[in-house]
Structure 1
């Protein structure tokens, strides 16, 4: 496992930017990116590590407690620049619609099973990983369209322990996971990338996002296999959004099915210095990293990722905003 830290200025980002769907993208603030790479041997070991028994035994990861003393003065908010969007894409041979998708879904204050099929049913999936002491855990993630067709969005706390800087190992993504099945195979991480500020702030949730670059299955990329959701950076806040994850409570299917929430976003007013937005719904441990999507079409299951499930408070769940810093991490991931 090789870990590197990179400081990406505007010129470097321009050289590595993925251009499809990002016309008129403006220069943005430098981003410090932490990146950990895994060798072919490590990826092969991860693939063999995750037996059916270990998948079932993995614990649902919940968001860690927020560090004390972190305020707007000690940690600057993400920079919001010109909106940059990347379109969703449907994989060849993967259905984009479902006969069970029947119009708009009612707003939910508690998660419900997703029965609408479509692109989200193939691009959402479960993440499995192991920490330094041998504990095995699970989170959620979503395929994000990218130049290398191999990127997923998840939570920062699903790739690294922010209090110690430990990057997790044996990291895999299983798209379309349902009741222990792997309908499209198991994609092992080639590299894990996150904003350095997430660790330097000891886990401030404003930066609780990460991108994983995965390998191929049967010589096919992730996007060619299952498709991808679009991504929107520095988009408008306060939209009607949908969130998806694999919560571990019995009401959510004990982590064995994809669940869904939706609602109108509101600012996180309960945490000092927060720049996060959320909705009136809570998905439990294991849903961490699942996607928040805007402009979501329930008939096709496609939309634009604007964040990932990070923390909850009371009856609300929140996501970090994908601003210019997140765009910098994404661009490096898409070029890997």
Structure 2
């Protein structure tokens, strides 16, 4: 990639049928996420079908435990204090650096860098809690990102497969300085998860190609469906590994003290040995998992065409410590093919069929 001497701004699209094509490469500015150093060459991930010994299948783990979990319980549980003190998880990795320790504020020459921006209405965060009582239990800060996608029921979100578990609440265009009940587009309980039953959470094997999922949302407390409030994104079959994409997501708070969403425009390639795209962009810390990869976006409307999501091998990034510069600079996405769109159709119709063993298609 060629280096750039100044930031190319994202422009609002005039209200017309034409869409912006995303081929921008973002360089350093004062709004960049904190990154540092020069990235060493990527070590090739091991191929194969065997799941990682520490990974667990999503089968049987994706129920949201929604019985008795009401909007009132959500508000009672996710108080501002609990949101501020919740556990701050990240993508799995050995010997992680302590949370809340940002790297030096230096851009990487020749590499696009994620920039903070206000966000768009159709993309937000997932808050989750664990435990038998919906008003108590382990608190987890937003660990994943998600986007509203078109559906007949007008209530479907797309995220990563490894994000689909527990009692979850989707908050579109999340504002960290506002209480949950005062978010600009409200909040929505996840009532059901839909994940390919062959997927293995945070796998490093072939089934990591299946790291995508859908969540069905309850209406907001005022009775409106998410798609009617924030719009919806159009899902498109991935046309190939080499694409101009813009990634959106919410990095975890420990690496993003401003708690703002980020976006990064870059050119993708292929993750060798997998049905996955690979992008180099500095500043994509844990928490962006599940965030959409747009091939086309209307910034005014806040929606676009999605061809991927942060996820895949090891949950969407290299199996290296968080202290390794490659941790925040190399990001993966599954390729959307027939199996993805079968799950999409089944999620819309509330079905959970068994698709059989996963075999990587030749491509």
Answer whether TM exceeds 0.5 for this pair.
yes
**SS class of match (2:214):** strand
2:68: which partner in 1? 41
Question: For the residues of structure 2 that align with 1:123 and 1:108, how far apart are their CA atoms?
Answer: 27
Say if 2:149 and 2:232, in contact at 8 Å, map to a contact too.
Answer: yes
Which of 74, 80, 83 aligns to 1:52? It is 80
Say if 2:89 and 2:140, in contact at 8 Å, map to a contact too.
Answer: no
Say if 1:240 and 1:294, in contact at 8 Å, map to a contact too.
Answer: yes
| CA positional deviation for 1:286 | 1.4
Taking a change above 3 Å as real, the CA distance of residues 48 and 331 of structure 1, as seen in their structure-2 partners, is farther
Say if 2:91 and 2:286, in contact at 8 Å, map to a contact too.
Answer: yes
Say if 2:161 and 2:201, in contact at 8 Å, map to a contact too.
Answer: no
1:295: which partner in 2? 296
Does 2:261 match 1:258? Answer: yes
Taking a change above 3 Å as real, the CA distance of residues 294 and 141 of structure 1, as seen in their structure-2 partners, is same
2:129: which partner in 1? 130
| CA positional deviation for 1:141 | 0.7
Taking a change above 3 Å as real, the CA distance of residues 242 and 258 of structure 1, as seen in their structure-2 partners, is same
| CA positional deviation for 1:333 | 1.9
Say if 1:112 and 1:252, in contact at 8 Å, map to a contact too.
Answer: no
| CA positional deviation for 1:135 | 4.5
Question: For the residues of structure 2 that align with 1:197 and 1:284, how far apart are their CA atoms?
Answer: 27
Does 2:162 match 1:157? Answer: yes
**SS class of match (2:336):** coil
Which of 336, 339, 351 aligns to 1:322? It is 336
| CA positional deviation for 1:300 | 4.5
2:270: which partner in 1? 267
| CA positional deviation for 1:306 | 1.5
Say if 1:108 and 1:262, in contact at 8 Å, map to a contact too.
Answer: no
Question: For the residues of structure 1 that align with 2:304 and 2:111, how far apart are their CA atoms?
Answer: 18
| CA positional deviation for 1:38 | 4.7
Say if 1:56 and 1:180, in contact at 8 Å, map to a contact too.
Answer: no
Does 2:143 match 1:143? Answer: no
Say if 1:241 and 1:296, in contact at 8 Å, map to a contact too.
Answer: no
| CA positional deviation for 1:290 | 0.9
**SS class of match (1:122):** coil
**SS class of match (1:180):** coil
1:236: which partner in 2? 240
Offset from partner CA, 1:250-297 (integer Å, 9 cap, x none) = 67444x21110111110013xxx4221022114112111111111234
Say if 1:58 and 1:128, in contact at 8 Å, map to a contact too.
Answer: no
- Structure 1: tracts of 5 or more residues without a match: 1-31, 67-106, 160-166
CA RMSD of aligned residues (A): 2.8
1:306: which partner in 2? 307
| CA positional deviation for 1:41 | 2.1
Tell which deviates more after alignment, 238-247 or 300-309. 300-309
Say if 1:153 and 1:289, in contact at 8 Å, map to a contact too.
Answer: yes
Structure 1 residues 180-199: aligned runs within 5 Å: 180-181=177-178, 182-199=183-200
1:212: which partner in 2? 215
1:173: which partner in 2? 170
Offset from partner CA, 1:201-233 (integer Å, 9 cap, x none) = 957431111111111111110000111111113
* Paired positions, count: 249
Kindly name which structure, 1 or 2, has the bigger radius of gyration based on alpha carbons: 2
Offset from partner CA, 1:17-69 (integer Å, 9 cap, x none) = xxxxxxxxxxxxxxx98763654622443453222222222334323359xxx
| CA positional deviation for 1:330 | 1.5
Say if 2:120 and 2:299, in contact at 8 Å, map to a contact too.
Answer: no
Question: For the residues of structure 2 that align with 1:42 and 1:123, how far apart are their CA atoms?
Answer: 24
| CA positional deviation for 1:190 | 1.1
Q: Select the structure that is richer in strand.
A: 1
